[in-house]
Amino acid sequence: MSEKRHFPALYVREFRLFWFAQIVSLSGTWMHSTAQGWLVYSLTKSPLYLGLIAFLSYLPIFFFTLIGGMIADRFNRRNTLLFTQGLSIIPAFVIALLTDIKVIEIWHIGLLAFIFGLINSIDIPVRQSFFTELVGKDEITNAIALNSTIFNLARITGPLLAGFIIQYYGITTCFYINAISFIPVLIVLCLINIPPNYNAQTDRGLKSFKEGWNFVFGNKAIFFALLMIAIFSLFAIPYINLMPVIADGVFKKGVKGLSILMASVGLGSFIGAIIIAFAKDFSRKDLFIPLSAIIFSSSLFIISFSDNFFLTLITMIMSGWGLVTFLALCNGFIQESVSNELRGRVVSFYVFVFLGISPIGNLIIGFCANILGTMEALRLFSSVVLLTTLMFAIIFRRHLENISP
């Protein structure tokens, strides 16, 4: 029956409730992210500090997300999410309070960013593998795509609302709203009815980790897809942290320009996600995965040479489309290829290369932008990424046929 419907995952009550709750939560998260970037830039006027705070945000994911994958396969995922989502309220409220009473310092932001990252190192792999419990394996790609639509819709609405709220109500309001935005997810997690983890693994420690490791390295197409995501995380995705510098330092547009640039990436990402969700399936993954990677890399390369605000907006929309299409298809492709017993651990490898490696990229691009200049550093990294993507397109298609259904 679901094959005849568009957005079939939304016909599942549990996923639908969770999906709507995340719209609120993710909008708050992107408001927080935009406000935090502007706060760091206002305090320091330095791209190095923007990269450093982003580094601290994702550093815990580098160290702990693979452990998060083992937790996802061992413990009840809904209960784990109740814990991590509830815990996320605390750092959001603390940064709001410190900013409100005007004692916020850059080290406060760094510490709270690190705490958020620590929570997310468990929350993200658990939440990603939780989708299968909500919709089943047959609809997992559609569920991932639908989740990506709201994530990227929030990337549009969150920054735009942040720009408006910062200008008229103050930056503190964004942080308070984010703290409150976790509450709908907590309520929904209490309301939905799902069975306990039906394939919880019993192995512990290194043996449990090794099973996930062997699966990833034994499937070459998955391995090279994860390797490409790792390269994006090191040299491409961190460009988003330079947006305050590009908006104000290059185009002289201030916080309004920042919110527009951030929203343009979200718009492209939303378009990509909604296309995937509407289509339900992309059978030609050998074509669409490499193509989307090339579009993202090419767009970033154009952005690095652009001195026209409108051209930058257009290419940032394209970059958002390319990146989210690539990531969503890779995520769905990986989860379709893995058994339920290994899902949490294999998904944690995806989260590790997507988010865990990014702190190194954030630090490198922040340092290079501080030494070479923002646009010069972006040109260097985008050139490396474009050349690597072209090589990946050839290698990935060559190995895809080796994946077992």
| DSSP string for 65-127 | HHHHHHHHHHS-HHHHHHHHHHHTHHHHHHHHHHHHTT---HHHHHHHHHHHHHHHHHHHHHH
Q: What is the pLDDT of residue 1?
A: 40
Average pLDDT over residues 201-214: 67
pTM: 0.76
The whole-angstrom separation of Cα 399 and Cα 204 is 32
In Å, what is the CA distance from 269 to each residue of 260, 264, 365, 387?
14, 9, 22, 23
Indicate the pLDDT class of residue 283, thresholds 50, 70 and 90.
low
Residue 68 and residue 79: Cα distance in Å, rounded?
14
Range in 10-19, 79-88, 258-267, 321-330 the model is least confident about? 258-267
Q: Kindly report, residue by residue over 8-54, the tens digit of the pLDDT.
A: 788 888 999 999 999 999 999 989 998 998 899 889 888 778 878 87
Phi and psi angles of residue 152, each rounded to the nearest 5 degrees, phi first? -85, -25
Q: Once rounded to an integer, what is the mean pLDDT over residues 254-273? A: 84
Residue 207 has a pLDDT of 67
- Cα–Cα distance, 251 to 106 (Å, whole number): 25
The CA distances from residue 12 to 103, 118, 147, 339, in Å, are 46, 31, 14, 21
If one compares 50 and 127, the residue with the highest pLDDT of the two is 127
Task: Report the C-alpha gap between 287 and 332 in whole angstroms.
Answer: 15
pLDDT of res. 40: 92
Nearest CA to 123 among 170, 47, 189?
189
Residue carrying the six token digits 């991590």: 84
Is the pLDDT confidence value at 202 over 60?
no
The band of 2, judged by pLDDT with boundaries at 50, 70 and 90, is very low
pLDDT at residue 87 tops 70 = yes
pLDDT at 208 over 70: no
**226 — pLDDT class (breaks 50, 70, 90):** very high
Across residues 304-329, what is the average pLDDT? Answer: 91
Across the range 274-286, mean pLDDT stands at 72
For residue 349, is pLDDT > 60?
yes
pLDDT reading at 350 higher than 80: yes
- Domains of the chain, CATH where assigned: 2-402 (1.20.1250.20)
pLDDT for 204 equals 56
Q: At what angle do helices 89-100 and 106-135 cross, to 10 degrees?
A: 150
| Residues composing the chain | 405
